[in-house]
Amino acid sequence: MNNGKYGVLLVNLGTPDKPTTKAVRRYLAEFLSDKRVIDLSRFIWKPILYGFVLPLRSSRVAKLYQKIWMDEGSPLLVYGRRQQKLLAERLADIPVELGMNYGSPSLEQAIDNLLKQNVEQLIVLPLYPQYSSSSSAAVFDGVSQVLQKYRTIPGIHFIRSYADHPAYISALKETIEQSFDKHGQPDRLLFSYHSIPQRYADTGDIYAEQCKLTTRLLKQAINYPAERVMVAYQSRFGREQWLTPYMDQTVKSLPNQGVKHIQVICPGFSSDCLETLEEIKQLNKEIFLSAGGEKFEYIPALNDNTSHILLLEALVNGFVRNGNE
């Protein structure tokens, strides 16, 4: 029973409303204007963003979205809606809303919906297993900004990360084992995490350490030689140094080392999206095969898997139980 009037806010990054240049430009403008994402001086960054980045990237990125768009819409939103629905069914009397940090449905819409249901304790669950200032902290900022318009705000519990949660590791293990059963064990198993600027890590962002933690626990959990597991970082943007090794360079180099069969999982992505379905499943597969590789399989994100919904339920219930004690 929802005695404390709990409500759950699931948050993911966001997505364009349509795979069109106009919609992508609008989305990228909001996303890349966040100081948590790009921390350069606004005096320097705004002319670059509006003079070069948006005019040059919007059309190209729209074409990439068109390659992975589902009948129901953007994969990130489709899976997010399914996660919301399934989690709400599991929690029964605790309302669940989905909000995007950028784009629709907005954080403001989601929080408004929850507070209209008289939620007094708001559990904010960013769907980022590993904390980063450019993702998790940006959610905290966004929620705080929305709540500024309310005279009375709910109690807030912010689930910062779940990189080492047993149910998370178990869910990832399950997807890897399913891939092994279907395709056989590969020569190498790659964990591809979204990268961040090295400068962020050097100035206090714990993201890289959280990725290492997940990697260590998952290597221990799976029945696969640890020395054949590799880690790489994808989706770098701009010219400065980001976390290495870079994913595209890594897969390109492997065939020359005698590696002909690889499987790739992206543990940091709770839902499949542009970065997994286009960048990894399509582009990096093409890079690997063109370099002489023979077999490349992408292991899907947790998406709306039952094990994923049970993980989200465990995260929420862990707080509800403690809050009621």
* Range 156-165 average pLDDT: 98
Q: What is the pLDDT of residues 51-77, one digit of tens each?
A: 999 999 999 999 999 999 999 999 999
What six digits make up the tokens of 174? 């399950």
The per-residue pLDDT for 2 is 57
What six digits make up the tokens of 17? 């409303």
Q: Is the pLDDT of residue 320 over 60?
A: yes
Residue 72 labeled ligand binder: no
Q: Which residue has the tokens 């206090």?
A: 204
Distance, CA of 217 to CA of 219 (rounded, Å) = 5
One-character DSSP codes across 53-95: IHHHHHHHHHHHHHHH-BTTB-HHHHHHHHHHHHHHHHHSSS-
Q: Is 71 exposed, middle or buried, given 0-12, 13-18 or 19+ CB atoms closer than 10 A? A: exposed
Q: Is the pLDDT of residue 325 over 80?
A: no
| Pairing assessment for the beta strands 155-158 and 229-234 based on DSSP bridges | unpaired
Residue 194 labeled ligand binder: yes
The per-residue pLDDT for 153 is 97
CB 187, CB 261: distance < 8 Å: yes
Query: Is 6-161+306-324 a CATH 3.40.50.1400 domain?
Result: yes
Q: Where in the chain is the domain with CATH 3.40.50.1400?
A: 6-161+306-324, 166-299
Angle, helices 306-324 vs 166-183, to 10°: value is 170
Banded pLDDT at 1 (limits 50, 70, 90): very low
CATH number (3.40.50.1400, 1.10.10.60, 3.40.50.300, 3.30.420.10) of 166-299 reads 3.40.50.1400
The per-residue pLDDT for 238 is 87
What six digits make up the tokens of 322? 């403690």
The per-residue pLDDT for 66 is 98
Q: What is the pLDDT of residues 22-42, one digit of tens each?
A: 999 999 999 999 999 999 999
In this structure, which amino acid lies at residue 286?
E
One-character DSSP codes across 201-220: HHTT--HHHHHHHHHHHHHH
- Of 295, 267, 283, the residue nearest 68 (C-alpha): 283
